[in-house]
């Protein structure tokens, strides 16, 4: 018997982006697609399951309204996405589902529960039936088969559950090697979601987002995707498969302005990237796109990417101190970052730069090395944020072992409004120091006359730039002009 499956991003805070690498309500009003629920939905759909996706934060659904939608669908399995900052709320809503529908099976997924199984089970086994760990695309249909009676639970790899009050953890599921076999996630968006609900501040609206690879060979100590969800082994879709999904978007989403290829590192295999670009150029596909790349991306590849429609690259510079880069295992040098930025300028490629403060060894001096370094780079947009440490990562273990985590509960990972909250304090820097610095750095970077003139020129010559900038600025302006409480204390 095939049961109905409901995939749920449960109600929490409106516009809370759980699929972000650092889940929160963003200052720029960005709302991520429920990416991993959607990829799993594609596999379930392919296997003939009747299913539904409810993304409550994106749709601004309240708890009672969401519960009524679940009851109306009458699923046999509800799959609930989780994150660190929302986990208490996620668990509370899972309990409500179980109280309203005692026969339904519940399964938690996501980064947080993958790293914290013993914290959740067996204590909450009365309303949490299963946890599907790590990459769960093929775990869910097998679990649905077991619930439907056509498979033994013990045969389902990658799940944790309780049996007679005892925690059972089946062996890990091997990571998917052939990503080309996965259905296009954009087909799932078309069938089960409304793409107009999702917005990325650095990408033209409306947009769709997908991944072209999983796993990352880099050793960055903070990344929960590579350490908790998808592993260090890099697995990529073929250039032809990526190109075919772009063509699908062009044909089925005619008003989409731009695609976000949201990989941890799109450019690990630059030969594959170049082949994809040649397919775009040869077939004259005009759809614009944005990708995330390391500073090891070459000028030659950038030129092809630009010709193939890539408008902007998102890259993690992270720090202006080589010592801090080494401490966080970033695996890049400041010289590589400078050469990358020069190459991007030469290739006429825009850059969204990311900087992270509070890593091992950080001091007030290294903070300002980072700000000075950021000001020397030509970037279209930039973000400064404190290190966020999540269970299952090396950064979390470092902070925990040194007693740097000052949070009383996981809810403290967020402010009351859902924005990021810094939870670490070191001997050198308090949490407030890190937050104040990010506010100061953001203000000093964006309010420079040269930057304002550059951005004004873009808006005057491009309607897309004007719309994107205006929408982001409408949400972001209060963070630029609000007084920085610690400015006198931190300015040097």
Listing DSSP states for 48-60 in one string gives: T--EEEEEHHHHT
Residue 130: strand, helix, or coil:
strand
| pLDDT band at residue 188 using 50, 70 and 90 as cut-offs | very high
Q: What's the pLDDT at 192? A: 98
125-149 pLDDT, tens digit each: 999 999 999 999 999 999 999 999 9
Decide if pLDDT at 231 tops 80. yes
Decide if pLDDT at 28 tops 90. no
Alpha-carbon distance 367 to 373, whole Å?
A: 10
Asked if residues 439 and 479 have their Cβ atoms less than 8 Å apart, the reply is yes
Alpha-carbon distance 90 to 85, whole Å?
A: 10
Q: What is the mean pLDDT of residues 243-250?
A: 98
452 burial level (CB within 10 Å; 0-12, 13-18, 19+): exposed
Decide if pLDDT at 491 tops 60. no
Across all residues in the chain, what is the average pLDDT? 93
Q: What is the mean pLDDT of residues 299-320?
A: 97
Q: What is the mean pLDDT of residues 307-330?
A: 97
Q: What's the pLDDT at 354? A: 96
Alpha-carbon distance 164 to 122, whole Å?
A: 10
440-485 pLDDT, tens digit each: 999 999 888 878 787 777 776 776 666 656 665 665 556 566 555 4
190-211 pLDDT, tens digit each: 999 999 999 998 899 999 999 9
Q: What is the mean pLDDT of residues 226-231?
A: 94
| pLDDT band at residue 486 using 50, 70 and 90 as cut-offs | very low
Asked if residues 472 and 28 have their Cβ atoms less than 8 Å apart, the reply is yes
Q: What's the pLDDT at 488? A: 44
How are beta strands 130-132 and 105-109 bridged, if at all?
A: parallel
For residue 340, say if its preceding peptide bond is cis, omega within 30 degrees of 0.
no
Long-range contacts of 465-468, Cβ-Cβ distance < 8 Å, separation of 24 or more: 467/204, 467/205, 468/201, 468/202, 468/203, 468/204, 468/205
| pLDDT band at residue 366 using 50, 70 and 90 as cut-offs | very high
How big is the chain, counted in residues? 492
Decide if pLDDT at 243 tops 90. yes
Q: What is the mean pLDDT of residues 359-373?
A: 97
Q: What's the pLDDT at 264? A: 85
Alpha-carbon distance 304 to 278, whole Å?
A: 7
Taking CA 423 as the corner, what is the angle to CA 419 and CA 426, rounded to the nearest 5 degrees?
140
Q: What is the mean pLDDT of residues 385-406?
A: 97
Tokens of 189: 């968006």
Alpha-carbon distance 154 to 310, whole Å?
A: 46
Q: What's the pLDDT at 281? A: 98
How are beta strands 350-357 and 310-318 bridged, if at all?
A: parallel
Q: What's the pLDDT at 467? A: 62
Q: Which residues lie below 8 Å from residue 251, measured CB to CB, with a gap of 6+?
A: none
256 burial level (CB within 10 Å; 0-12, 13-18, 19+): buried
Decide if pLDDT at 492 tops 50. no
Alpha-carbon distance 314 to 327, whole Å?
A: 22
| All structural domains of the chain | 5-169 (3.40.50.2300), 200-490 (3.80.30.20)
Q: What's the pLDDT at 418? A: 94
Q: What's the pLDDT at 417? A: 94
pLDDT above 90 coverage of the chain, percent: 88
- Classify 230 in phi/psi space as left (phi over 0), alpha (psi -120 to 50) or beta: alpha
The CA R_g of the chain, rounded to the nearest whole Å, is 22
Among 177, 296, 156, smallest CA distance to 234 is for 177
Phi, psi of 269 (to 5 degrees): -105, 95
Q: What's the pLDDT at 27? A: 83
């Amino acid at each position: 018997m095939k049961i109905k499956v409901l995939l749920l991003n449960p109600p929490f805070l409106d516009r809370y982006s759980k699929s972000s690498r650092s889940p929160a309500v963003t200052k720029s009003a960005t709302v991520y697609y429920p990416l991993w629920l959607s990829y799993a939905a594609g596999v379930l759909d392919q296997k003939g399951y009747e299913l539904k996706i409810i993304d409550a934060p994106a749709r601004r659904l309240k708890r009672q309204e969401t519960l009524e939608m679940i009851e109306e669908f009458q699923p046999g399995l509800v799959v609930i996405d989780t994150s660190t900052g929302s986990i208490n709320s996620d668990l509370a809503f899972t309990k409500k589902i179980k109280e309203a529908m005692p026969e339904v099976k519940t399964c938690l997924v996501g980064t947080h529960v993958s790293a914290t199984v013993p914290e959740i089970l067996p204590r909450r086994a009365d309303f949490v039936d299963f946890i599907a760990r790590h990459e769960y695309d093929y775990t869910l249909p097998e679990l649905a088969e077991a619930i439907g009676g056509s498979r033994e639970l013990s045969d389902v790899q990658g799940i944790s559950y309780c049996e007679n009050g005892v925690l059972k953890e089946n062996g890990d599921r091997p990571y998917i090697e052939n990503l080309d076999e996965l259905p296009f996630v954009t087909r799932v968006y078309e069938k089960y979601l409304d793409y107009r609900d999702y917005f990325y501040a650095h990408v033209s609206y409306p947009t769709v987002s997908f991944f072209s690879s999983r796993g990352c060979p880099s050793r960055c100590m903070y990344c929960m995707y590579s350490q908790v969800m998808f592993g260090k082994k890099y697995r990529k879709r073929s250039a032809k498969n990526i190109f075919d999904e772009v063509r699908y978007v062009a044909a089925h989403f005619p008003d989409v302005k731009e695609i976000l290829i949201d990989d941890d590192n799109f450019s690990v295999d630059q030969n594959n990237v170049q082949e994809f670009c040649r397919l775009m150029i040869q077939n004259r596909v005009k759809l614009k796109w944005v990708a995330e790349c390391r500073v090891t991306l070459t000028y030659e590849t950038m030129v092809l990417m630009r010709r193939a429609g890539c408008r902007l690259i998102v890259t993690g510079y992270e720090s202006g101190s080589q010592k801090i880069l080494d401490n966080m295992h970033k695996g890049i040098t400041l010289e590589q970052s400078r050469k990358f930025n020069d190459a991007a300028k030469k290739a006429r490629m825009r850059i969204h730069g990311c900087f992270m403060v509070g890593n091992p060894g950080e001091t007030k001096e290294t903070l300002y090395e980072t700000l000075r370094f950021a000001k020397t780079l030509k970037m279209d947009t930039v973000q400064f944020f404190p290190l966020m440490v999540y269970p299952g990562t090396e950064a979390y273990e470092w902070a925990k072992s040194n007693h740097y985590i000052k949070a009383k509960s996981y809810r403290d990972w967020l402010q009351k409004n859902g924005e990021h909250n810094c939870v670490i304090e070191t001997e050198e820097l308090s949490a407030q120091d890190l937050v104040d610095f990010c506010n100061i750095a953001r203000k000093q970077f964006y309010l420079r006359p040269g930057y304002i003139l550059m951005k004004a020129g873009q808006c005057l010559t491009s309607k897309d730039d004007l719309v994107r900038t205006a929408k982001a600025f409408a949400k972001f302006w209060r963070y630029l002009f609000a007084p920085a409480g610690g400015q006198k204390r931190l300015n040097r």
